[in-house]
Amino acid sequence: MNHLYRINDIDRNLCAARFRPLDVLVAGGTGTGKSSALNALFQREVARVRRGCDPETMGTSSMGSMTR
């Protein structure tokens, strides 16, 4: 899949709605893939992912901004 799929449409709509920057909260239970989802969204490792039973992320943090 093209990683730029509709990026211009999304960016234009966010700017028109004055949602720049767009804040997103990712919440869920332990081990449900929140960090993995963020890494996939940013297409690089922005959150550490732990394999096994112990959680890696124990608090909240800012992951930065997604830029082109």
DSSP 1-68: --TTTTHHHHHHHHHHTT--SPP------TTSSHHHHHHHHHTS--S----SSS-S--S---------
Residue from 49, 47, 48, 42 nearest 65 by CA? 42
Q: If you search the block for the tokens 């096994």, which residue do you land on?
A: 52
Question: pLDDT value at position 58?
Answer: 67
Instruction: Say yes or no to pLDDT of 26 above 80.
Output: yes
Confidence of residue 65 (pLDDT cuts 50, 70, 90): low
Instruction: Say yes or no to pLDDT of 28 above 50.
Output: yes
Question: pLDDT value at position 2?
Answer: 55
Instruction: Say yes or no to pLDDT of 3 above 70.
Output: no
